[in-house]
């Protein structure tokens, strides 16, 4: 099975590190021209440099723009008016006492994790429809299906993202454009390491802390370890490719068996 994205331009939001960076690597490896996005010009430049080192023949560029704001989206669209592949990876997460989450925090999570994706889909989907080909991939989470007690606001925002993905897939019905979401399970990133240490003793070495976190807080994982970002990127590269032409409106799981369901 050969994934070939030659001649396609892909935008990955929140791609200076973690899952987003791994997705950018995977798409570049498949031959796409990849646009790295983040808020910090320095971090974007660093990510672009690392990608070019790893993929010297790929077309890599960066746009520093805060896509959680109208101004940032306008800046992005000014530099990048059209894409073939849109990966909405940007998101925030963190633990919080459920009854102590204020309205402003709920709004911040919804604005960042849902409306940012909606705003970019609204901007790029019409061009994809006009050309008769395109891919929209929203990075969701197992927390969308199994709402964790320690971060209800995050889980609810990712549930809304699944619904938005399904709705936009219907809006693109019959056009050659697919819209899907990826349900990512507990994944090993720098931010997740910090999150793990919020819930288990910081005195533990990382390998022990990870096992303790999975045992206490994610016991239903069949993988029984954190997922590596590259494993998420593999699914995204497939969904972005012509090989996934009959997959749309779906919520595909890369969750290590975390969600206890036969269907997504």
Which residue out of 124, 154, 238, 258 is catalytically annotated?
154
Token pair, residue 207, equals: 């390998």
> What count of Cα atoms within 13 Å lies in the side-chain half-sphere of residue 70?
0
Query: Whose CA is closest to 183, among 201, 206, 166, 170?
Result: 166
How many alpha carbons lie under 13 Å from residue 253 in its C-beta half-sphere? 20
Whether 238 is catalytic? no
Q: How far apart are the first and last CA of the chain?
A: 24
Token pair of 77 as six digits: 């669209």
Closest CA to 5 of 251, 236, 213: 236
Q: Structure tokens of 227? A: 């997922």
For 216, other C-beta atoms within 10 Å of its C-beta total 10
Residue 117: name the closest of 156, 75, 79, 162 by CA.
Answer: 162
Active site residues: 154
């Amino acid at each position: 099975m050969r994934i070939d994205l030659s001649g396609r331009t892909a935008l990955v939001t929140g791609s200076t590190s973690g899952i987003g960076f791994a997705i950018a690597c995977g798409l570049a490896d498949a031959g796409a021209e990849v646009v790295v996005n983040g808020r910090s010009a320095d971090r974007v430049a660093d990510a672009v440099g690392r990608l070019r080192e790893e993929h010297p023949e790929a077309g890599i560029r960066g746009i520093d723009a805060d896509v959680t704001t109208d101004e940032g989206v306008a800046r992005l669209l000014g530099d990048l008016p059209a894409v073939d592949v849109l990966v909405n990876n940007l998101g925030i997460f963190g633990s919080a006492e459920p009854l102590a989450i204020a309205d402003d925090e709920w709004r911040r999570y919804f604005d960042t994790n849902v409306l940012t994706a909606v705003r970019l889909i609204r901007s790029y989907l019409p061009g994809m429809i006009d050309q008769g080909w395109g891919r929209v991939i929203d990075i969701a989470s197992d927390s969308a299906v199994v709402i964790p007690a320690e971060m209800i606001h995050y889980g609810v925002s990712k549930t809304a993202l699944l619904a938005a993905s399904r709705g936009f897939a219907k809006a693109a019905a019959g056009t050659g454009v697919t819209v899907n979401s990826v349900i990512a399970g507990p994944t090993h990133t720098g931010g997740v390491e910090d999150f793990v240490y919020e819930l288990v003793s910081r005195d533990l070495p990382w390998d022990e802390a990870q096992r303790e976190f999975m045992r206490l807080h994610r016991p239903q994982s069949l993988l029984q370890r954190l997922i590596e970002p590259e494993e998420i990127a593999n699914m995204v590269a497939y969904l972005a490719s012509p090989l996934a032409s009959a997959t749309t409106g779906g919520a595909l799981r890369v969750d290590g068996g975390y969600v206890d369901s036969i269907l997504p």
